[in-house]
């Protein structure tokens, strides 16, 4: 079981070791990462527990984690998350919390009690909300004696363009807003962000090295794009600075999901 998920993290660890001459630096960084097998997160975008568990049975031994989103969670609830965890898979709970700090902190606490390794919140909830979420993740994990999950900040939804932001009274365009919210998130103590493949290089250059970047919009070379307009291959995304790759349909809608995940892993240098 690897704690460092990909080449990028290993490169960062080597860089830090070279800078500090301190091998224990590697242990410190690794201790902050959830223990996941590889950087592939399979998005279980299905409506029923039956379908999700069938996919989990095939994918848990192969991928790094399984992502549960709003549809599946709203249909099947925390019991399913616990069942998925029982397969041995790490779980990314992608519910994008956005509320007053106390409410988000209590939701994060509940997610940690379900045993998830990653979860999402909206950075537009502000500094106090993000701090409360990160604090709740750490405190609850400490109390349970487990590793704190990565609380990932979502900046600007990829469905919003400059005109849509303008309508909301936010000037300066999406790139400016993504950068602003990302810095706010890191200053509030978040250790990771979700971003589109196109934002990877900009965020990697702007943020401290320890910040984990999770990106959807990944398509294996030669695969169809479905409704994703701007995609990268797994290798391109890792080279651009991604730590974790969210992949849905190319794995879960394949005739043999496990074989599809294995092909993606075999094609990359994970």
In the complex, which residues of this chain contact ligand C5P (CB under 6 A)?
43, 45, 67, 69, 158, 196, 216-217, 226, 228, 246-249
Cβ-based nearer residue to ligand C5P, 43 or 105:
43
Cβ-based nearer residue to ligand C5P, 21 or 159:
159
For ligand C5P, which residue has the nearest CB?
248
Coil vs helix vs strand at 158: coil
Dump the DSSP string for 53-77: HHHHHHHTTTSSEEEE-HHHHHHHH
Cβ-based nearer residue to ligand C5P, 46 or 188:
46
Cβ-based nearer residue to ligand C5P, 156 or 188:
156
Q: What's the token pair of residue 213?
A: 């970047």
Distance in Å, CB of 115 to ligand C5P, minimum:
20
Per the annotation, the verdict on 96 as an active-site residue is yes
In eight-state DSSP terms, residue 34 is: -
Return the closest-CA partner of residue 158 out of 117, 186, 200. Answer: 200
Cβ-based nearer residue to ligand C5P, 4 or 55:
55
Distance in Å, CB of 135 to ligand C5P, minimum:
25
State how far the alpha carbon of 111 is from the alpha carbons of 31, 191, 208, in Å.
20, 17, 27
Distance in Å, CB of 164 to ligand C5P, minimum:
14
Coil vs helix vs strand at 161: coil
H runs (alpha helix) in the chain: 7-20, 24-32, 49-59, 70-86, 101-113, 127-144, 162-167, 173-187, 200-206, 234-240, 249-252, 257-267
Distance in Å, CB of 43 to ligand C5P, minimum:
4
- Cβ neighbors of 107 (< 8 A, separation 6 or more) are 95, 97, 99
Distance in Å, CB of 246 to ligand C5P, minimum:
4
Give the C-alpha separation, 227 to 210, whole Å: 31
List residues with catalytic annotation. Answer: 96
């Amino acid at each position: 079981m690897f704690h460092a998920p990909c080449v990028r993290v290993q490169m960062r660890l080597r860089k830090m070791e070279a800078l500090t001459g301190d091998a224990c630096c590697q242990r410190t960084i690794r201790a902050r990462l959830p223990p996941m097998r590889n950087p592939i997160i399979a998005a279980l975008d299905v409506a029923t527990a039956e379908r999700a568990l069938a996919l989990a049975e095939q994918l848990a031994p192969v991928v790094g984690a399984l992502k549960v989103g709003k549809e599946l969670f709203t249909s099947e609830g925390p019991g399913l998350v616990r069942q998925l965890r029982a397969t041995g898979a790490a779980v990314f709970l992608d519910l994008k919390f956005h509320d007053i700090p106390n409410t988000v902190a209590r939701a994060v606490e509940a997610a940690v009690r379900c045993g998830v390794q990653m979860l999402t919140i909206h950075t537009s909830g502000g500094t106090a909300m993000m701090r409360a979420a990160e604090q709740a993740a750490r405190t609850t994990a400490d109390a349970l004696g487990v590793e704190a999950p990565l609380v990932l900040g979502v900046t600007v939804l990829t469905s919003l363009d400059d005109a849509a932001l303008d309508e909301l009274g936010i000037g300066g365009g999406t790139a400016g807003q993504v950068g602003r919210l990302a810095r706010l998130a890191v200053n509030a103590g978040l250790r990771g962000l979700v971003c589109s493949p196109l934002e990877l290089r900009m965020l990697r250059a702007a943020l401290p090295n320890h910040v984990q970047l999770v990106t959807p919009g990944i398509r294996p070379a030669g695969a169809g794009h479905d409704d994703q307009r701007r995609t990268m291959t797994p290798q391109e995304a890792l080279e651009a600075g991604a730590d974790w790759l969210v992949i849905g349909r190319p794995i879960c809608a394949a005739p043999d999901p496990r074989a599809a995940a294995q092909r993606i892993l075999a094609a990359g240098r994970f």
